[in-house]
Amino acid sequence: TPLGIAVIGTGRMGADHIRRLHTVTNGARVAAVADLDPDRAAHAAHGIDGCTAHTDPAAAMAAPGVDAVLVASPGPAHEAALTAAFARGLPVLCEKPLTPDAASALRVVEAEARLGRRLVQVGFMRRYDTGYLRLKELLDSGAHGRTLMLHHRHRNPATPPGFTDAMLINDSVVHEIDVTRWLLGEEITAVHVLRPTPSGAAPAGLGDPQLVLFETTGGQICDTELFQNCGFGYQVACEAVGERGTARTGDDHGLLVNADGRWGGTITPGYVERFADAYDRQVQRWVDATRRGTVEGPSCWDGYAAAAACEAGVRAQTTGARAAVELAGRPGLYR
């Protein structure tokens, strides 16, 4: 029987995951949905056989046929949803960020450690993108020697209304933080943020673009160009510089067209399109592992370590100074 999933939050990512679970993923069905807005919940459940609509996440998790939970509500709502899932012993795929700050992320880590088994996979989907997977394989092979630097590029066409400077770190740079930790197998020890004069296209009060630097336990320096109102499309890329070679992923041109004396192609409009394959693979792997009774992929520890680095990032943003990352001890469950 397919895995019955309660989807919490039916906004941009939640709606996309509902579509994916319903039409792409094998061995899964959307059994319940929850959204604070009852009309949006009802709309999301519409046309899915046996799917019930709720406003309370805990009620959706208690609905008939629910075996697992996909949390896609905004970050500040994650801790409560995870607590409700833990109370029912339900496996969870939790969209990033795990929670919006390090203290709450650590509470989640401690609660899961008390359960004595992993229930959560964090939705750092770049780890399932073909290009990033190949880059990871290459770095792990040692073919280029030690990795010395990573250059990340992260551009969005526009920020959603209400996006803040802190969200530039917590919602966007959090991906570079996770990818850096994962590619290098190192922790981030400090963050610096440099702020050029904002683009005229940046909403008032938002310091966009920014240049964010990480120092790691392995002594690497990694930079991220974050440009969230570039207007022209969505671009995420990463270049690794090793002792004997470099490798770059993310500037895939898809289809390269020659016509009318020009060559060129198109840029993906947003992350839903750019990472469609990664999201599909991430969700399928989560469903498969859950049906086998196992938990894989990025853990609550990864979510916490990312939150701790984000917290340093937000501090560096406001003070303009280098901010050290403070990490708690790693519980045995995550070693």
Q: How far is the CB of 227 from ligand ISE (least distance, A)?
A: 10
Q: How far is the CB of 264 from ligand ISE (least distance, A)?
A: 23
On the 0-12 / 13-18 / 19+ scale of CB atoms within 10 A, 326 is exposed
By CB under 6 A, tell whether 156 contacts ligand ISE. yes
Stretch near ligand ISE under the rule CB under 6 A, chosen from 42-50, 171-179, 281-289, 324-332: 171-179
Task: Report which residue type is found at 15.
Answer: A
- The C-alpha angle with vertex 122 and arms to 120 and 125, in degrees rounded to 5, equals 145
What are the DSSP calls for 131-179, one per residue?
HHHHHHHHHHHTTT-SEEEEEEEEE-S-PPTT--HHHIIIIIIHHHHHH
From 175, 181, 192, 315, residue interacting with ligand ISE (rule: CB under 6 A): 175
What are the DSSP calls for 79-136, one per residue?
HHHHHHHHHHT--EEEESPSSSSHHHHHHHHHHHHHHTS--EEEE-GGGG-HHHHHHH
Q: How many CA atoms lie within 13 A of 189 on its CB side?
A: 10
Stretch near ligand ISE under the rule CB under 6 A, chosen from 61-69, 135-143, 167-175, 289-297: 167-175
Q: Count of H helices and E strands in the chain?
A: 11, 15
Stretch near ligand ISE under the rule CB under 6 A, chosen from 63-71, 107-115, 169-177, 287-295: 169-177
Q: How far is the CB of 81 from ligand ISE (least distance, A)?
A: 17
From 124, 214, 271, 304, residue interacting with ligand ISE (rule: CB under 6 A): 271
Nearer to ligand ISE, 171 or 302 (CB): 171
Q: How far is the CB of 154 from ligand ISE (least distance, A)?
A: 6
By CB under 6 A, tell whether 172 contacts ligand ISE. yes
The site for ligand ISE (CB under 6 A) is made up of 156, 171-172, 175, 228, 271
